[in-house]
Amino acid sequence: MNTTAFSFFVAIILVTLLITYFAARRNKSTSEFYVAGGNITAWQNGLAIAGDYMSAASFLGIAGSIALTGFNGFFYSIGYLVAYLVVLFIVAEPLRNLGKYTMADMIAARFNAKKIRSVAALNTLAISTFYMIAQLVGAGAIIKLLLGLNYQTSVIIIGILMTVYVVAGGMLATTWVQIVKAVLLMGGTIALSLMVLSHFHFNVVELFNAVAAKAGDKMITPPAPTTFLAGIDSVSLNLALVLGTAGLPHILIRFLSVKDAPTARRSIVFATWIIGLFYLMTPILGYGATYFVGIDAIRKANAAGNLAAPQLAEQLGGNIFLAFISAVAFATILAVVAGLVISAASAFAHDFYSNVLRGGKATEKEQMKAARWASVGIAVFSILLALGAAAIFPLKNPAVISVPLGFIACFLGTVLSAPVKADDEQKFEEIFVQAHTGIKPTN
The pLDDT assigned to 389 comes to 56
What domains lie within the chain, and their CATH numbers? 3-227+238-387 (1.20.1730.10)
The pLDDT assigned to 222 comes to 75
Q: Print the SS3 string covering the chain.
A: CCHHHHHHHHHHHHHHHHHHHHHHHHCCCHHHHHHHHHCCCHHHHHHHHHHHHCCHHHHHHHHHHHHHHHHHHHHHHHHHHHHHHHHHHHHHHHHHHHCCCCHHHHHHCCCCHHHHHHHHHHHHHHHHHHHHHHHHHHHHHHHHHHHCCCHHHHHHHHHHHHHHHHHHHHHHHHHHHHHHHHHHHHHHHHHHHHHHHHHHCCCHHHHHHHHHHHHCHHHCCCCCCCCHHHHHHHHHHHHHHHHHHHHCHHHHHHHHHCCCHHHHHHHHHHHHHHHHHHHHHHHHHHHHHHHHCCHHHHHHHCCCCCCHHHHHHHHHHHHHHHHHHHHHHHHHHHHHHHHHHHHHHHHHHHHHHHHHHCCCCCCHHHHHHHHHHHHHHHHHHHHHHHCCCCCCCCCCCCHHHHHHHHHHHHHHHHHHCCCCCHHHHHHHHHHHHHHHHCCCCCC
CA pseudo-torsion sign 79, 59, 185, 38: positive
The answer to whether 378 and 399 are in contact (CB under 8 A) is no
Rounded Cα distance, 374 and 369, in Å? 8
The pLDDT assigned to 208 comes to 93
Angle between helices 170-197 and 204-215 (to 10 degrees): 80
The pLDDT assigned to 44 comes to 93
pLDDT tens for each residue of the chain, 443 residues long: 667 878 888 888 888 888 888 888 877 788 888 888 888 999 999 999 998 888 777 788 889 989 998 887 887 788 888 888 888 788 888 888 877 788 787 777 766 667 778 888 888 888 888 888 877 877 777 777 667 778 888 888 888 888 888 888 888 888 998 899 899 999 999 999 999 999 999 999 999 999 999 988 888 887 777 777 777 887 888 888 888 888 888 888 888 888 888 888 899 889 989 999 999 999 999 999 999 999 999 998 888 888 899 899 999 988 888 888 888 888 888 888 888 888 888 888 888 888 888 887 888 888 888 988 988 998 888 888 888 755 555 566 666 777 788 778 777 877 777 666 666 666 666 666 666 666 666 65
CA count, 13 A, side-chain hemisphere, 123: 15
The pLDDT assigned to 202 comes to 94
The pLDDT assigned to 6 comes to 80
- Reported pTM: 0.81
